[in-house]
């Protein structure tokens, strides 16, 4: 790994020369300094040095892999993938794979919600579960929400009258805040899958 440093204080002393800087640095560190010279455009001394792998903690291999960055859209997509998977698994485990497949075809053809759209149209999914299976659909929707909360290790208390999809959106917002350290974007889908206007 190469490191380039510029220290203006090193160039201000009349007794500081590239050779004396190199000698001082090599004496006080384990770093081999290959090129110590006055920097032509900056007031100071530029130092080019090779840092041994033992001092970099693995950064010498690939710096871009050593510090993971969180992409908000990727984090939201990961959350949405969990929501889809739990929705599918819950319906298939309770009603059977054949019923799940028929329900998925119904969602796509009648409501226009494909499997990939489940997280953004969770309110429609829950409404069609209730319409298709009555009270059983409501129980199934609650089981889906409980499964999502369990997957993220969050506590859930369902209040009658509050739309179930609101709980999932609340969890998603909290998850994004926790992972990214900030609030989610303001234009999040509403309970019916549209954008609040």
Could you tell me which of 128, 147, 124, 149 has the C-alpha nearest to residue 137? 128
Task: Provide the pLDDT for residue 87.
Answer: 96
How much is the pLDDT for 197? 35
Question: What are the start-end ranges of the E strands in 30-172?
Answer: 32-38, 45-50
Contacts of 104 (CB under 8 A, 6+ apart): 88, 115
- The dihedral of CA 57, 59, 60, 65: what is its sign? positive
Q: How far is 79 from 76, CA to CA, in rounded Å?
A: 5
φ, ψ (nearest 5 deg) of residue 41:
-105, -10
6, 24, 28 from 35: Cα distances, Å: 12, 13, 16
At residue 75, the pLDDT reads 85
Tell me the C-alpha distance between 71 and 84, whole Å. Answer: 20
Give the integer Cα–Cα distance in Å for 173 and 112: 25
Q: Edge to edge, what strands does the sheet with 2-7 contain?
A: 2-7, 45-50, 32-38
Secondary structure percentages of the chain, helix, strand, coil, to 5 = 60, 10, 30
**What was the pLDDT predicted at 9?**
46
Q: Report CA 85 to chain centroid distance, whole Å.
A: 18
8 Å CB contact between 145 and 164 = yes
* Residue 115: CB atoms within 10 Å: 13
pLDDT tens, the chain, 197 aa long = 344 444 444 444 444 455 555 555 555 554 454 555 554 544 455 555 555 555 555 444 444 444 455 677 888 899 999 999 999 999 999 999 999 999 999 999 999 999 999 999 999 999 999 999 999 999 999 999 999 999 999 999 999 999 999 999 999 999 988 888 755 555 555 444 444 33
Question: What is the pLDDT at residue 8?
Answer: 46
All domains in the chain, ordered by first residue: 2-66 (no CATH), 72-180 (1.10.1200)
Q: Using a CB cutoff of 8 Å and minimum separation of 24, what contacts does 100-106 make?
A: 103/128, 103/132, 106/132
């Amino acid at each position: 790994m190469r490191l380039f440093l510029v220290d203006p204080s090193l160039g201000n002393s009349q007794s500081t020369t590239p050779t004396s800087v190199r000698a001082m640095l090599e004496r006080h560190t384990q770093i081999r300094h290959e090129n110590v010279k006055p920097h032509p455009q900056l007031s100071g001394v530029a130092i080019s040095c090779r840092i041994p792998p033992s001092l970099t903690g693995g950064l010498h291999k690939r710096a871009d892999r050593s510090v993971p960055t969180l992409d908000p859209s990727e984090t939201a997509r990961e959350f949405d993938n969990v929501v889809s998977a739990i929705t599918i698994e819950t319906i298939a485990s309770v009603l059977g794979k054949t019923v799940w497949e028929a329900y998925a075809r119904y969602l796509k053809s009648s409501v226009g919600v494909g499997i990939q759209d489940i997280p953004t149209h969770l309110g429609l999914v829950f409404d069609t579960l209730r319409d298709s299976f009555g009270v059983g659909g409501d129980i199934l929707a609650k089981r889906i929400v409980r499964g999502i909360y369990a997957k993220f290790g969050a506590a859930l208390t369902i209040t009658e009258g509050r739309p179930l999809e609101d709980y999932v959106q609340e969890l998603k917002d909290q998850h994004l805040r926790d992972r990214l350290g900030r609030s989610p974007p303001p234009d999040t889908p509403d309970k019916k899958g549209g954008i609040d206007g």
